[in-house]
Structure 1
Amino acid sequence: MHEPALLPWHADAWGQLVGMSNLPHAFLLVGPAGIGKRAFAARLAAWLLCLQPRDGQACGSCRSCLLREAGSHPDLFQVGPEEEGKQIRIERIRNLIDFINQTAQQGGRKVVLLDPADAMNQNASNALLKTLEEPAQDTFLLLVSDQPGLLLPTVRSRCRHLSLSGPDATSALDWLRESLSGLPDDQLALLLALAGGAPLRALQLHEQAVLEHLERVVTGIKQLLKDQVSVSVLADRLKSVPLLLLVDWLHDWTLTLQKLKLGLPAECAVADMQPVLGYMARHAAAAELQAWQDWLLQHRRMLLTKANLNQTLLLESLWLHWKRLGKRR
């Protein structure tokens, strides 16, 4: 695990942290997704494990740093779900406890990185409590969470909360411009809008070729509403678009539709979708929009929990629902 660079919008938080005279044994790092909490936690783990930290950072050259950078540090234990979207089960926490009860092999500190902490199920959370209540000497637990409200109150109360925020819009755009040099500002701004202003999430979306996917989806929607393409053909054409992304876009556009239906001002981040949504708002019934929104949320939960869904049938059903919303009455 390499020590990530310190993100500029976290410089103040980092300075306060490394200036503490007495470090708590457990940190809960919270904040919106995509702002760099995991990079901050990895940097903190590197600093805690370093045998010769200087100037508020790991030295990068001691035995401990070299082991960590090679991914083989025996005193660093990382815990997460066995598969993305799944829960962290009690067996993983028992392994964590076994690690904590061992003597540090490098003669320094031990660090546990639990990410995402809110993925722990009830039994796992309860198993962790005793460790939080009776901390081992020179052992630090770093819990990372996008949704701390999902954690047991007893777990939250036994950690020092470290709330991390994202950058302002200008700083986010500047950072993304530097990270994606050559990309036009309008595309950078769209990536940030799609990422809810979170710059690391925007970078991840770019790596997933999200703008290309989005262009194909918007084009397909226009053709679908004009009867230029069938539901089944569109489903096949867009099967390479990540389903969760697609559902999230439709969810956001449906919220815009509902606002427009109520006569409220609502601007879509995707400019090409604004006239499409304006047209659909004139024809979609409010009750249908609510039912469609419920359908989307239900299937989003199923996707998050890795339910065994038939992708082809789901896509065809999705586009059939969407076409019906825009049908003239």
Structure 2
Amino acid sequence: MAEAFPWQAALWQQMATRSQHAHAYLLHGPAGIGKRAFAERLMARLLCLQPQGADACGQCKACHLLAAGTHPDNFVLEPEEADKPIKVDQVRELVSFVVQTAQLGGRKVILVEPVEAMNLNAANALLKSLEEPSGNTVLLLISHQPSRLLPTVRSRCVQQACPLPSAEQSLAWLSANLPEATPEMLAELLELAGGSPLAAKRLHGQGVLELRAQVVDGVKKLLKQQQGASQLAEGWNAVPLQLLFDWFHQWAQLMLRYQLTRDEDGLGPADMRKVVQYLADKTPQGKLLSMQDWLLAQRQKVLGKANLNRVLLLEALLVQWASLPGPG
């Protein structure tokens, strides 16, 4: 059974005990807060033949079939490969499933994650099923970035924001799941993950603290002209592009905030605080705004899985970054 997170308790009681369910829910919130586990737990509850209070019984035929991954009335739609789009042919298969009769005589439940991975044709192919799913069908759509969805997709769902854990809840969960990590490491991981504990655990598995140290060291050497953009771009092969653009975009935001507020407490993580302050003091605001626009545009391409020349893209980023201090 999917893990039950303490920060989801109130929402779980609200949704699991409903006598009537909407035909489609859009469960949204930042990545790494447990939306998939919540959806899987709700899916089990909706398919269970003998639910025990707010949870699935775990013992009936439906629960056994679901646990084995062979439940005939359950359909999970996700990218065929990690970080790839959901294709229109996959959605057509889902549409064929929707029009079938439930084989166990109860509900059919569909889980889609992440919804924003659908390309335009795939999203349009889903609309009819979202609007009028046949029979007793419930669609659970999970989105980490609902702003990227078509308005026609959002409007056909009951939109449900998933609760964020408190810092105390996040650290307690992380400590239990990463017992080898020091409190300082846990705090740093959580900060890099934007407060999302599951994302922090995943980042730990990617060796993010080591990757971050490598990137920060490289940026400092770039600004001191101790290392060139081409050399750095080629040396960052192990760092995921999305992480890089998330970090550079965050640094640009922190610089703009400092220019506007002069608040030294808002300079972000300690590893780049002095650099952020230095660049904010030395960079004309118009130049910084242009840099931020460029970062946002490139980040969208990265998120959209565009076919990018990684080294050339990073060289362009680093050349512009190195030129921030000075006249616009």
Q: Same fold (TM over 0.5)?
A: yes
| Correspondence list, 1:54-73, <5 A | 54-73=52-71
What SS does the corresponding residue of 1:67 show, helix, strand or coil? Answer: helix
1:41 maps to 2:39:
yes
Pick the aligned partner of 1:190 from 171, 175, 188.
Answer: 188
Residue in 2 aligned with 1:277?
A: 276
Q: Is the 8 A contact 1:33 1:201 kept in 2?
A: yes
* Inter-partner Cα distance in structure 1 for 2:95 and 2:229: 52
* Inter-partner Cα distance in structure 1 for 2:56 and 2:302: 39
* Inter-partner Cα distance in structure 2 for 1:261 and 1:202: 29
Supply the AA of the counterpart residue of 2:280.
A
Residue in 2 aligned with 1:268?
A: 267
Deviations 1:89-134 (Å, cap 9, x if unpaired)? 5433322221122222334332111222344455544543433443
Range with greater deviation from structure 2 (247-256 or 53-62): 53-62
* Inter-partner Cα distance in structure 2 for 1:76 and 1:54: 20
Deviation at 1:85, TM superposition (A): 5.2
Q: Is the 8 A contact 1:192 1:202 kept in 2?
A: yes
Cα distance change on mapping 1:125 and 1:167 into 2, 3 Å = same
Supply the AA of the counterpart residue of 1:316.
E
Pick the aligned partner of 1:12 from 6, 10, 13.
Answer: 10
Residue in 2 aligned with 1:114?
A: 112
* Inter-partner Cα distance in structure 2 for 1:38 and 1:261: 39
Deviation at 1:138, TM superposition (A): 2.9
Aligned-CA RMSD value: 2.6
What SS does the corresponding residue of 2:106 show, helix, strand or coil? Answer: coil
| Correspondence list, 1:85-234, <5 A | 87-234=85-232
Supply the AA of the counterpart residue of 2:202.
Q
Supply the AA of the counterpart residue of 2:277.
G
Cα distance change on mapping 1:31 and 1:262 into 2, 3 Å = closer
1:288 maps to 2:281:
no
Q: Is the 8 A contact 2:101 2:135 kept in 1?
A: no
Give the unaligned 5+ runs of structure 1.
none
Deviations 1:277-322 (Å, cap 9, x if unpaired)? 2222232232322222222222212222222222222222222222
What SS does the corresponding residue of 2:89 show, helix, strand or coil? Answer: helix
Supply the AA of the counterpart residue of 1:189.
A
Deviations 1:204-257 (Å, cap 9, x if unpaired)? 211211111111111222222223323333223222111110111011111122
Cα distance change on mapping 1:234 and 1:161 into 2, 3 Å = closer
% identical equivalent positions: 49
Length-normalised TM-score, structure 1 = 0.88
Deviations 1:137-183 (Å, cap 9, x if unpaired)? 33221122233344455544443333321112222222222222232
Give the unaligned 5+ runs of structure 2.
none
Q: Is the 8 A contact 2:87 2:118 kept in 1?
A: yes
1:74 maps to 2:99:
no
Cα distance change on mapping 1:272 and 1:148 into 2, 3 Å = closer
Length-normalised TM-score, structure 2 = 0.88
Q: Is the 8 A contact 2:284 2:327 kept in 1?
A: no
Deviation at 1:273, TM superposition (A): 1.0
Report how many residues are paired. Answer: 327
